[in-house]
């Protein structure tokens, strides 16, 4: 075999020193021989090194892209693998083996819609294995423990010098979900989800009023009426009395979420969604009136008659009524892949709790390891509800921990009350203020079809306290009852377990 000095120098330089290929300027034949040999010997790093340097020298052809793409694939670098395999298909779109590799490179890069657009070009065996309408079904359920189940400030619910106070507190809650994902065409996915939530709530009420309290009888003579007439006076004292009462009830919420994902190509994804919620619970209303109370004042022994007097007294009454209403969210998200990055824009319109909301946001997702073994998403969202405008932030970081377990941590900062996340699939329509939330998720792979998930969520919230005080009007000098509000912090801890079956 004739010794090729240029070929030998090229191997030494590229495989040991890693210097630029420009130092030797290899020709097409040299690149082809070297990449083929390294590919056959499964030296994936060498194929990638030589191939990438050849591309910098404008040496580009079908087999080179194929070898580079498959080498990246075997090193679990699915993002660059998909880039080179797409380029290979531009040279030759008839090779079903390359289509198979590209399909799984897209799947492992979280580009399922783009992957399924390649399905018609794959091998018959591969098409048969993935040609399924139903993709996966998911079930999860969880329970939330609230530190606000009992108020810590019940003794001062009215506040100082107040006449009335109330709090409507969220206690523990239950959550369940059933979702289905299906594929209706090579470029369109549909998802359906049903959620049920049940919140335990208690309305605590405290009120005060002045009361006349009987303190005892006093014997006396009343000669001005009848000589030597005796009797008993009923003595009274005035006191300020405070009463506490509470009403426990449940808020039930049924939800239906429908979403679609359309991938027209070039890494673009369009995702409209609609979320419907039916909320039902019992409302408790309070009212007061001033009644005239008659009480015994004096009993005459001579006439055997008890004389009465009257005084005003404030009395509260409470009524309950079942109520229900519907809320909905319409959302749209558009994302675009740019190599190791994905840029997304989102917007939504909703009518939660009798108010109208608008959201618009942007998100950047990045994959520094060129696969799903490490990823992050940074997002910012603008929220508008009338004059109430907020800026919300979120950060998600995920990583592959072992071959069978992934982990993810998330943090959401800002008041997410009456907002939605995940393109409208999660809605925060409770009445309390959300300061921030954080959480973590573990995903376990169990065999080919089963995926288990364990989710923890922490919320820092504030509940509203309402109380009334008597205040003098400086203009009229009249005493008026003025409503005051304050917030009380509390937190919730949620644990959710889920199972997914992939068809």
Task: For 127-178, write each residue's pLDDT tens digit.
Answer: 887 888 898 999 999 999 999 877 776 777 888 778 899 999 999 999 999 9
Residue 5 has pLDDT above 50, yes or no: no
pLDDT category at 224 given cuts 50, 70, 90 is low
Q: 3-state DSSP call for residue 176?
A: strand
Residue 106 has pLDDT above 60, yes or no: yes
What is the mean predicted confidence (pLDDT) over 27-33? Answer: 89
Is residue 318, in this structure, part of any structural domain at all? yes
Is residue 1, in this structure, part of any structural domain at all? no
What is the mean predicted confidence (pLDDT) over 255-269? Answer: 92
What is the mean predicted confidence (pLDDT) over 414-418? Answer: 94
What is the mean predicted confidence (pLDDT) over 458-464? Answer: 94
pTM: predicted TM-score of the whole model, two decimal places: 0.81
What is the mean predicted confidence (pLDDT) over 176-197? Answer: 94
pLDDT category at 72 given cuts 50, 70, 90 is very high
More confident residue, 379 or 477: 379
b or e along 265-277 (b: 16 or more beta carbons within 10 Å of the residue's beta carbon)? eebebebbbebeb
d(CA 335, CA 365): 10
Is residue 469, in this structure, part of any structural domain at all? yes
Q: Quick one: angle between helices 62-74 and 28-40, nearest 10? A: 30
Is residue 111, in this structure, part of any structural domain at all? no
CA distances from 316 to 28, 114, 354 (A): 94, 65, 28
Is residue 446, in this structure, part of any structural domain at all? yes
pLDDT value for 227: 57
pLDDT value for 25: 64
Confirm if 458 and 496 have CB atoms less than 8 A apart: no
More confident residue, 93 or 194: 194
Domain that holds residue 244: 135-502
pLDDT value for 386: 93
Residue 401 has pLDDT above 50, yes or no: yes
d(CA 142, CA 144): 7
Task: Tokens 């190791």: give the residue.
Answer: 340
Residue 237 has pLDDT above 80, yes or no: yes
More confident residue, 384 or 158: 384
Is residue 55, in this structure, part of any structural domain at all? no
d(CA 407, CA 411): 14
- Give the count of domains, the chain: 1
d(CA 458, CA 261): 30
Average pLDDT, the chain: 89
List pLDDT tens digits, range 311-356.
Answer: 999 899 999 999 999 999 999 999 999 888 999 999 999 999 999 9
pLDDT category at 1 given cuts 50, 70, 90 is very low
pLDDT category at 187 given cuts 50, 70, 90 is confident
CA 38 to chain centre: 48
The region of weakest confidence among 83-87, 161-165, 250-254, 407-411 is: 161-165
The region of weakest confidence among 204-218, 341-355, 452-466 is: 204-218
Alpha helices in 75-173 (DSSP H): 78-91, 96-107, 112-116, 124-130
**44 φψ region: left (φ > 0), alpha (ψ -120 to 50), beta (else):** alpha
Is residue 456, in this structure, part of any structural domain at all? yes
pLDDT category at 473 given cuts 50, 70, 90 is confident
More confident residue, 299 or 144: 144
The region of weakest confidence among 82-96, 117-131, 162-176, 378-392 is: 117-131
Where residue 390 sits, what CATH number does that domain have?
2.40.160
More confident residue, 244 or 454: 454
d(CA 261, CA 183): 10
More confident residue, 360 or 241: 360
Is residue 363, in this structure, part of any structural domain at all? yes
pLDDT category at 301 given cuts 50, 70, 90 is confident
């Amino acid at each position: 075999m004739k010794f090729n000095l240029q070929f030998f120098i090229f191997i030494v330089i590229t495989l040991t020193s890693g210097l630029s290929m420009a130092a030797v300027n290899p020709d097409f034949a040299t690149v082809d021989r070297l990449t083929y040999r390294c590919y056959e010997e499964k030296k994936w790093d060498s194929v990638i090194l030589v191939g990438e340097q050849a591309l910098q020298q404008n040496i580009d052809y079908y087999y080179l892209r194929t070898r580079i793409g498959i080498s990246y694939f075997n090193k679990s670098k699915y993002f660059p693998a998909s880039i080179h395999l797409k380029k290979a298909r531009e040279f030759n779109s008839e090779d079903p083996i390359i289509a198979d590799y590209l399909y799984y490179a897209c799947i492992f890069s979280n580009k399922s819609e783009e992957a399924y657009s390649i399905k018609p070009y794959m091998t018959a065996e591969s098409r048969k294995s993935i040609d399924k309408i139903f993709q996966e079904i998911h079930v999860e359920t969880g329970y939330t423990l609230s530190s606000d189940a009992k108020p810590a400030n019940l003794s001062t619910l009215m506040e100082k010098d107040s006449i009335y106070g109330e709090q409507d507190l969220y206690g523990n809650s239950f959550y369940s979900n059933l979702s289905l994902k299906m594929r209706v065409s090579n470029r369109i996915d549909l998802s359906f989800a049903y959620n049920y939530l049940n919140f335990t709530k208690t309305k605590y009420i405290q009120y005060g009023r002045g009361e006349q309290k009987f303190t005892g009888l006093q014997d006396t003579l009343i000669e001005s009426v009848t000589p030597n007439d005796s009797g008993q006076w009923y003595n009274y004292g005035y006191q300020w009395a405070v009463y506490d009462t509470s009403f426990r009830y449940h808020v039930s919420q049924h939800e239906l979420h429908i979403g679609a994902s359309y991938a027209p190509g070039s890494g673009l994804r369009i995702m409209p969604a609609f979320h419907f919620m039916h909320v039902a619970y019992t409302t408790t209303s309070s009212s007061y009136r001033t009644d005239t109370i008659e009480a015994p004042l004096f009993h005459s022994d001579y006439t055997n008659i008890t004389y009465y007097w009257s005084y005003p007294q404030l009395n509260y009454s409470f009524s309950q009524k079942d109520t229900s209403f519907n809320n909905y969210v319409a959302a749209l998200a558009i994302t675009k892949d740019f190599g190791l990055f994905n840029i997304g824009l989102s917007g939504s319109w909703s009518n939660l709790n009798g108010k109208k909301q608008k959201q618009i946001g942007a998100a950047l997702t990045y994959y520094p390891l060129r696969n799903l073994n490490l990823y992050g998403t940074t997002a910012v969202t603008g929220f508008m509800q009338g004059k109430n405008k907020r800026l919300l932030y979120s950060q998600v970081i995920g990583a592959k921990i072992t071959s069978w377990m992934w982990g993810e941590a998330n943090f959401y900062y800002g008041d997410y009350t009456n907002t939605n996340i995940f393109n409208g699939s999660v809605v925060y329509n409770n009445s309390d203020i959300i300061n921030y939330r954080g959480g973590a998720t573990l995903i376990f792979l169990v065999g080919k079809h089963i995926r288990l998930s364990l989710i923890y969520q922490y919320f820092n919230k504030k509940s509203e306290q309402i109380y009334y005080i008597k205040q003098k009007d400086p203009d009229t000098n009249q005493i008026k009852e003025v409503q005051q509000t304050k917030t009380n912090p509390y937190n919730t801890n949620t644990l959710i377990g889920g199972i997914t079956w992939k068809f």
